């Protein structure tokens, strides 16, 4: 059985593959020919993960799972959350964030 992990992060693919049965092959977005950037437009980490999984199912027909991560700081009322990657602006770098 093949299961798509909605990521191109090879470290995430390897980590999940090591945790599950050998009967399930975890494949990446690249493996299914998905080269487009799936815009994470939702307000929560969970909703962004659901958005990515639904996008793959609806556009490629594969069973899929996804995750999304973000840094949530209590002192900042949960921010930056889903905006962790672009907290310092849309074109920011890791150093600026």
- Catalytic residue from among 47, 67, 68, 74: 68
Question: Coil, strand, or helix at residue 40?
Answer: coil
Pairing of strands 2-5, 25-27: parallel
Both tokens of 53, joined, read 């999984």
Annotation says 43 is catalytic = no
Residues 6+ apart with CB under 8 A from 61: none
Report how far residue 52's alpha carbon sits from residue 34's, in angstroms, rounded to the nearest whole number: 12
**Active site members:** 68
């Amino acid at each position: 059985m093949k299961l798509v992990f909605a990521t191109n992060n090879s470290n995430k693919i390897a980590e999940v593959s090591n945790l599950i049965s050998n009967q399930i092959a975890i494949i990446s977005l690249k493996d299914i020919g998905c080269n487009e950037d799936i815009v994470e437009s939702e307000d929560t980490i969970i909703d962004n993960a659901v958005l990515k999984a639904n996008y793959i199912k609806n556009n490629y027909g594969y069973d899929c799972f996804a995750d999304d991560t973000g840094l949530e700081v209590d002192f900042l009322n949960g921010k930056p959350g889903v905006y962790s990657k672009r907290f310092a602006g849309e074109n920011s770098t890791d150093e600026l964030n």
